[in-house]
Amino acid sequence: MKFELLKVLDKILALYQLPRNKARFDKYLFLLQGANKDEMVLPIAGFNPMGKELALNKIEALIEFDAEELVSKSLEQINYELDDSPGRTLQVAINLIDDVEGSWSNYAVTDYKNKFEFDGLVNRNFCTPIFWTSETVSEEIIVQRTKEYVYRTIYWIKNGKPETLYDCLEQEVYVNIASGKQLLNPEIDDIEMLNNYYSQNVNSVDYNVNLNFFYGDDETKDLNFPVYGIPKNGGFEYAKYVALKRKEARY
C-alpha cells in the first residue's frame, strides 16, 4: 500500500476564476465525473462549485503555503514507514469545504461524513484531507491533517467501515496515535461523564447518538437532534484521552 499526491488546487483555482454561472458548474461536473458523468474521476466533491471570493482566497492561501508539496512530503514519510510490498495505490487530494458561504455544508454533518462514511472514496482509491473556509491554515495544520486522513484511510482498509460507536472511537484513537498527534490532557472537564455515556452506548449504531457524542450538543441541537449533555467535540477529546492512556501504558 502506498499514497501519492493528486494535484487539484490549480484546477480549482482556474474554476473559481470563472464567472459564477452554469458554465462554471458544468466545468466542475466535468472535472468531477469526466465526459461520461457516471464515475468520480477527480475527488473534488468537497469543493463548493459556486464558491465566492472567500473560497477563492482560501485556495490562493493554500497555494501560497505550497500545501500540495507539504502533502507530498508527508506522504513520502508515511510511505517509508508502511510495508512497501506491491499493493494498492491511493491518491491523496486536498479538498476545501465551504462552511461559511456553502449553504449545504453543515460542519458536524459534513465532518462526520468525511471521517466515518467515506467508503465511496476508499473504494475508488482516493483519500481527501479536508480543510474549511472558516479556518486559518498553517504548515502544521496541513501536515497534521494529511497524516490524520491517511491513517484514517489505512484503518478503514484494515478494519472496514466503522459501524458502532465503539468502531468510530477505535478509529479515532488509532488516528491520534499513528499520526503522531501531540496528546495533551483533553480540553473537557468531565471525562467521567463521557466515559459513562460511551460505556452505555458503546454498541450504538444510532446516527444521532454517535454524531452527538463526537460533536456535542451545540452542534447537533441546531439539527433538531436530541441532546445528551455532551460538550463541544466531546468524543474527539475522549478519543485523545484514551489514546494518551494507551500510550502511557506502553511505557
What are the 10-residue block averages of pLDDT along the chain, 251 residues in total?
96 96 96 86 94 95 96 95 79 95 77 95 96 93 96 95 97 94 69 93 96 93 87 93 86 64
Residue 93 in contact with residue 44, Cβ under 8 Å?
A: yes
pLDDT at 84: 63
Contacts 24+ apart (CB under 8 A), 186-193: 186/237, 186/238, 186/240, 186/241, 186/244, 187/233, 187/237, 188/231, 188/234, 188/237, 188/238, 189/231, 190/231, 191/238, 191/241, 193/229
Instruction: Report pLDDT for 104.
Output: 59
Q: Contact, 244 vs 183, CB < 8 A?
A: yes
Task: Look up residue 48 and give its DSSP letter.
Answer: -
> Residue 80 half-sphere exposure, CB side, CA atoms within 13 Å?
6
Q: Give residues with Cβ within 8 angstroms of 203, minimum separation 6.
A: 164, 165, 166
CA pair distance 34, 61, nearest whole angstrom: 27
pLDDT for the residue numbered 225: 86
Q: Beta strand 126-127 with 95-97: parallel, antiparallel or unpaired?
A: unpaired
What global pTM score does this model have?
A: 0.92
**Residue 162 grid cell:** 466503522
The overall longest dimension of the chain from CA atoms, in Å, is 59
Domain boundaries, the chain: 2-160, 165-172+175-250
